Amino acid sequence: MTSIFKNIESAVQSYARAFPVIFKRAQGSYLYDEKENAYLDFLAGAGTLNYGHNHPVLKSALLEYIEKDGITHGLDLHTTAKKAFLENLNELIFKPRNLHYVVQFTGPTGTNAVEAAMKIARNVTGRHNIVAFTNGFHGVTMGSMAATGNSHHRDAAGIPLIGVSHLPYAGYMGDKLDTVTLLRQLIEDSSSGLDKPAAVMLETIQGEGGLNAASNEWLRAVEKICREHDILLIVDDIQAGCGRSGRFFSFEESGIKPDLVTLSKSLSGYGLPFAVTLIKPEYDTWKPGEHNGTFRGNNHAFVTAAKALEYFWSDATFQTEVQAKIVHLTQRLQGIAKGFDKNLIKPKGRGFMQGLECRDGELAGAICRYAFDHGLIIETSGADSQVVKCLCPLTISLDDLNKGLDILQNAVTHTLKTSLRAAS
């Protein structure tokens, strides 16, 4: 690690350890280091750069706004930038999908939006417990961390994490147990020990938890339980939303209508901090300022977000292109894993949240290191960092997608052969 970062930046840094160069600029699907070496970016700001780095249309909208002294910081004041964002969200996203939400602007990180959603559910129902799922990741502030499964994050809390019950996610028990039946049983049995929850909170595809994807049937069954028992349904779409599943919201295909939805990461479209909690109007019981935050009015993010909605989501063109690339990605990942033992490596995930589950974190880490040495930035996820995760920009060209997947393929072949040779 370069000395200034080693000397005075906290040891908490993580991605920087995996990619130990100094990055200088970025465009589209590429990052460039100080020496002008190019890296294909299959990490994309951990899902924040769905439209790539510095998209020219978003950039010029932002530059024009700044040039005209547009408001930068606006608390929760009404501004022209916020107006345009809300109008586009309503016209281009909510209305065509027959969704009715009010928008809460929270502090600008994902965890803020999750904290708000959890608070609303508790205040509306008067219950404290929230059901979250194994391998779920919802952030690292106290409330959202209580809903996060990973002990690496939880252990840092320093105090007990309370108010959340973790139940097995879709497929967690393999074919041995239908986890949605268990959820129902625990909720309906007054002697199960599960306090009746205010909400069930889930990711439809678990990003940090290792690309576990719930089926549409599972999601619909969870929604049904929530409706029957007067429990709110929260979909945390911070990573899987904004197109990454192949549609704007990751739950669209299932037809469910969550009571609360959290969005952040790619919402600004430009990597600018921005988060919202979408609330069914009947649950918008906030008193003015009850949940606040100084940075709820990042107007630069509103400008790029409004432009991104207009440019990418006004019609079905972008979505259709993304879905075609997803089919290609699925096929290529299947091809890469083909010929290897399924216990060693297998494809996993849904949409543009797919990857390769490896036998262990060591193998997955070695694959990512080889890939980085050959110009591809790609990271792992999962309880033991055992899943190599392709999180490339949705705007990536087919050529670049193939280029990155070729590097990944070589990394897999090289690493597995080396590891098998060492074992024999």
| Angle at which helices 299-313 and 56-67 cross, to 10° | 140
CB-based contacts of 296: which residues, under 8 Å, 6+ apart?
75, 76, 105, 106, 107, 108
**Is residue 169 at the binding interface for ligand PLP, with CB under 6 A as the rule?**
no
Among 104, 129, 204, 264, contact with ligand PLP (rule: CB under 6 A): 264
Cα–chain center distance at 423 = 36
Q: Which of residues 208-237 bind ligand PLP (CB under 6 A)?
A: 208, 236
Q: What is the dihedral of CA 292, 298, 304, 310, to 10 degrees?
A: 40
Distance of closest approach, residue 344 Cβ to ligand PLP, in angstroms: 27
Q: Which is closer to ligand PLP, CB of 46 or CB of 194? A: 46
Whose CA is closest to 167, among 133, 137, 196, 144?
133
**Is residue 203 at the binding interface for ligand PLP, with CB under 6 A as the rule?**
yes
Among 109, 254, 268, 385, contact with ligand PLP (rule: CB under 6 A): 109
Using an 8 Å Cβ cutoff, are 79 and 302 in contact? yes
Q: Which is closer to ligand PLP, CB of 310 or CB of 384? A: 384
Map residues 125-144 to x or -, x wherever contact with ligand PLP holds by CB under 6 A. ------------xxx-----
List the structure tokens of 40: 């294909």
Q: Among the candidate windows 4-12, 68-76, 107-115, 394-402, which touches ligand PLP by CB under 6 A?
A: 107-115
**Is residue 107 at the binding interface for ligand PLP, with CB under 6 A as the rule?**
no
Distance of closest approach, residue 46 Cβ to ligand PLP, in angstroms: 6
Whose CA is closest to 285, among 55, 89, 88, 117?
117
**Is residue 357 at the binding interface for ligand PLP, with CB under 6 A as the rule?**
no
CA gyration radius for the chain? 21
CA distances from 381 to 46, 114, 130, 360 (A): 10, 20, 24, 11
**Is residue 379 at the binding interface for ligand PLP, with CB under 6 A as the rule?**
no
Q: Among the candidate windows 201-209, 319-327, 382-390, 409-417, which touches ligand PLP by CB under 6 A?
A: 201-209
CA distances from 268 to 55, 309, 399 (A): 11, 9, 26
Q: Which is closer to ligand PLP, CB of 29 or CB of 264? A: 264
Count residues binding ligand PLP (CB under 6 A): 15
Q: Which is closer to ligand PLP, CB of 46 or CB of 142? A: 46
For β-strands 38-41 and 23-27, DSSP reports them as unpaired
**Is residue 389 at the binding interface for ligand PLP, with CB under 6 A as the rule?**
no
Q: Which is closer to ligand PLP, CB of 47 or CB of 347? A: 47
**Is residue 259 at the binding interface for ligand PLP, with CB under 6 A as the rule?**
no
List the structure tokens of 248: 């704007």
Q: Which is closer to ligand PLP, CB of 247 or CB of 403? A: 247
Q: Which is closer to ligand PLP, CB of 246 or CB of 363? A: 246
d(CA 144, CA 358): 28
d(CA 262, CA 280): 12
Among 16, 21, 46, 157, contact with ligand PLP (rule: CB under 6 A): 46
> Which spans of this chain sit near ligand PLP (rule: CB under 6 A)?
46, 109-111, 114, 137-139, 203, 207-208, 236, 238-239, 264
